[in-house]
Structure 1
Amino acid sequence: MTGPGLTRAPAGWYPDPDGAAGMVRWWNGETWSDVTTPAGPGVAVQAAPVAAAPVPSAGWDGGAADGWQSGPASAPGSRSRIAWWIGGSVAAVVAVVVLALVVGLSGSGGTPVVDDPPVTAGPSGPEFPPGTVRIIDEEAGISYPFLGNGWFEYDLGPMLETRTIAGQYFTTQEGVPTGGDFIAQCTSGPVADGYGWAGPGSEQATVTALADSVRAAYYPFPNEREVLRDEALTVDGAAAHLIEFQLTWDVEGYDSTGERAALLVIDVGRPDPALLYVSIPNTHAELYGVIDRVLADIDVL
C-alpha cells in the first residue's frame, strides 16, 4: 500500500529534478530513468508531485530491479538526494513547455524534438561527441537525428544488407540463446548487391527483399509478421519506399516477445540506394515513437 501522506506519481515526463533548464526526465511510475532528454513540442510535461524518490546510482546497469538504490518509490525526486517539490507548480511547467517550443521552432539545426521516453539500457558502445544532434552517413548519402543520451555509436560490425554501416544502438539484453546481444538500433548504409536494386523505380522490390533478409538473419524463429506500412514516400525530394512491421515470437531465453521494425530504401542518386533500418524490441515499446521521428527528419546529402 502507499504510505500516509505520500502520493504515487503516474508515469510520464517531469521537469528534471536536478534543475537542468529545458530538460525533462521520464518517470515510469516507480523510478526515474537514468537519462535526460530535451523538452520539446509533443512532450506532455506533468505537474511536479510533492514527494521524491532516488534514481539509479552511477553504477546502475539498467537490468534487474536490485540495480536501483533503495528508498521510497512514491514520486519522482533528485538523482543525488530526496527532493521536495511544491505541488501544483503550474508556472514551472508552463515555463518548460514555452522554452521547449522556442527550441523546437528555432530551426532545423537546433536540438532535436523528443516525443518518446529516454533509454534505460545496459552497457553498450562508444558515446557520440558532445553536441551531436545528427548522424551523417556519408557513405549512404543521408543524415538523420541522433536520438540522445543512452544511444551509442554503432560499432558491432557489418550487416549483410549494407556495404557499410553507421548509426546508433543500445543493448536491450546481453547473451541471447543464439549468441551475442539483443539490441535496439537506428542504422544506415548503402544497400549491398543482391537485393533487387535495378535503379529508380525498384525501391519497393529492394526494401521487400531487405525486410525478408533482416527477419531471417536477426530475429528468433518461429515468428509471425504483421505489416503495418508498405508505402511509397518522398524523402527530401527523393523517391523512397517504406516497410514497417511488427514481429512476434515466443522463444525461450529472450526477454522480448516481439519487435517493431522499419526499413526505408531511398534513391539518393548514387549507384546504390540508402537503407535506413530502425528496430525497437517490445521490452522498450515506449520508444516505438522514435521510428516516426526519424522518418520525418531525414536529409539526402
Structure 2
Amino acid sequence: MSAPGAAPPGYYPDPDGLPGMVRWWDGSAWSDVATPAGPGVMTATGEAVHRPSAPAWQPARPARSGSRTSWVVGGVVVAVVVLVVAVVLGTSGRQAPDPGPTDVAGPPVAGPTFAPGTVQIVDQAAGIAYPFLGDGWYQYPFGAPLETTEVTGQYFVTQDTIPDGGEFIAQVTSGPVAEGYGWAGTATLGTTTATLAESVRANYYPGPNDRDVLRDEAVTVDGAPGWVYEFTLSWDAAGYDATGERAALLLVDVGRAAPALLYLSIPNTHAELHGVIDRVIGAVEVL
C-alpha cells in the first residue's frame, strides 16, 4: 500500500482504493482496518471543508442528580449521532495547517459548532490542548461540573432522554481542577486522580455499577508529569440504552495552582469509538 509521504496523522481515502472507505495513517504506517467514511470522519487530504454554521442556541445548565448529569446531561434535545471519529493533530489558534475533512453529508446541527478549520481544542484556562474529533462533535455548552472550575471541550448526544429527564452523551472535556480533591503538588497526582474518579463515578452514572480499572499509572504528558486513570463501568438500569461505558481521567501538572483535568467518556452504545480515548490522551499538549 502506498503512503502519503510526510502527511500528518489522520484518516485518508483507503490506499487500496475501496470506495467510500478511509484508513488511519499514524505518520509512518497504515492501520490494518479500513473504516467507512461518514459524518465524524475527517480525512487529511486537503479537500473542501463542509461544516454547518453555528446556530443561535442557548443551552440550559444541566441539573445535578445521582445519575449521570453535569458532565453528561444537557438541556437540549438532539438527534442521536452514530459516528466514527478520527484525531487529526494541529490547532486552530496556532500556525498548524488545516488537514481538511472530506465533504460529507452530516446530521442536522445539534449544538454549537467549532470554527471552520478547527483541528485542536485549546483550553487556555486548564493549560492544555487536545484534538478536535471532527464533524458530528459539538462544542460542550453546559456549565462546569463539580470537579473543575471551568469547562471546555466537545460532545455528542447518545440518548435523547434518560430516566431523570436529561440526556446521555459522549464527551471529551477539560478544565482546571476545583479545590477539595486533595491537590498539593506533583506528589499527589495519583491520589487526586483517584478522588476525582470516585466523584465522577458517584455523580454522573446510574448505580449500582461495577468498575474495571484498565490503567492507573503515572505518565508524562508533553514533558509534564501526569496521571491517567482509565476504566470501564457497567450497570443494569432501566431506561438507559447503554449498559456501560469506557472512560478516562487524565490529570496533568501544568505548573499552575490547579492541575488540568481531561475527562473522556464513550458509552458502549458507541463502542466503535472507544479507541478515541487512548488516541486523544496520547496527543495532549501542555500550553
CA–CA separation in structure 1 for the residues paired with 2:150 and 2:38: 33
**1:259 equivalenced with 2:245 (yes/no):** yes
**Secondary structure of residue in 1 paired with 2:166:** coil
Q: CA deviation at 1:33?
A: 4.2
CA–CA separation in structure 1 for the residues paired with 2:108 and 2:229: 29
Amino acid at match of 1:201: A
Q: In 1, are the aligned partners of 2:80 and 2:157 still within 8 Å (CA)? A: no
**Structure 2 counterparts to residues 227-242 of structure 1, below 5 A:** 227-242=213-228
User: Residue in 2 aligned with 1:206?
Assistant: 192
**Secondary structure of residue in 2 paired with 1:186:** strand
User: Residue in 2 aligned with 1:38?
Assistant: 43
Q: CA deviation at 1:286?
A: 0.4
Q: In 2, are the aligned partners of 1:122 and 1:170 still within 8 Å (CA)? A: no
The equivalent position to 1:268 in structure 2, one of 254, 261, 279, is 254
Q: In 2, are the aligned partners of 1:236 and 1:300 still within 8 Å (CA)? A: yes
**Structure 2 counterparts to residues 14-53 of structure 1, below 5 A:** 26-27=35-36, 33-38=38-43
CA–CA separation in structure 2 for the residues paired with 1:260 and 1:125: 23
**1:133 equivalenced with 2:138 (yes/no):** no
**1:109 equivalenced with 2:96 (yes/no):** yes
CA–CA separation in structure 1 for the residues paired with 2:161 and 2:108: 12
Deviations 1:149-193 (A, max 9, x none): 110000022200000000000000011002211000000000000
The equivalent position to 1:157 in structure 2, one of 130, 139, 143, is 143
Given the two structures, how large is their TM-score scaled by the length of structure 1?
Answer: 0.65
Amino acid at match of 2:143: G
Q: In 2, are the aligned partners of 1:121 and 1:171 still within 8 Å (CA)? A: no
**1:184 equivalenced with 2:170 (yes/no):** yes
Size of the aligned set, in residue pairs, is 219
The equivalent position to 2:157 in structure 1, one of 162, 171, 175, is 171
CA RMSD of aligned residues (A): 3.4
User: Residue in 2 aligned with 1:299?
Assistant: 285
Amino acid at match of 1:158: A
CA–CA separation in structure 2 for the residues paired with 1:234 and 1:135: 20
> 1:36 and 1:199, CA in 2 relative to 1: closer, same or farther beyond 3 A?
closer
Amino acid at match of 2:281: L
Amino acid at match of 1:37: M
User: Residue in 2 aligned with 1:288?
Assistant: 274
CA–CA separation in structure 2 for the residues paired with 1:226 and 1:17: 39
> 1:251 and 1:217, CA in 2 relative to 1: closer, same or farther beyond 3 A?
same
The equivalent position to 2:180 in structure 1, one of 177, 191, 194, is 194
> 1:250 and 1:121, CA in 2 relative to 1: closer, same or farther beyond 3 A?
farther
Where relative contact order (Cα < 8 A, 6+ residues apart) is larger, the structure is: 2
Structure with a larger share of its residues in helix: 1
**Secondary structure of residue in 1 paired with 2:179:** coil
User: Residue in 1 aligned with 2:230?
Assistant: 244
Aligned-pair identity (%)? 55
CA–CA separation in structure 2 for the residues paired with 1:130 and 1:63: 20
Q: In 1, are the aligned partners of 2:149 and 2:176 still within 8 Å (CA)? A: yes
Q: CA deviation at 1:264?
A: 0.6
**Secondary structure of residue in 2 paired with 1:167:** strand
Q: CA deviation at 1:292?
A: 1.3
Deviations 1:171-223 (A, max 9, x none): 00011002211000000000000111011211001110011001111111111
**Structure 2 counterparts to residues 216-231 of structure 1, below 5 A:** 216-231=202-217
CA–CA separation in structure 1 for the residues paired with 2:114 and 2:137: 8
- Which ranges in structure 1 are unaligned for 5 or more consecutive residues? 1-12, 41-59, 65-102
CA–CA separation in structure 1 for the residues paired with 2:250 and 2:192: 10
Q: In 2, are the aligned partners of 1:122 and 1:171 still within 8 Å (CA)? A: no
Q: CA deviation at 1:124?
A: 3.3
Amino acid at match of 1:210: L
Amino acid at match of 1:38: T
Deviations 1:53-100 (A, max 9, x none): xxxxxxx94479xxxxxxxxxxxxxxxxxxxxxxxxxxxxxxxxxxxx
Amino acid at match of 1:166: T
User: Residue in 2 aligned with 1:279?
Assistant: 265
If you compute each CA radius of gyration, which structure gives the higher value, 1 or 2?
A: 1
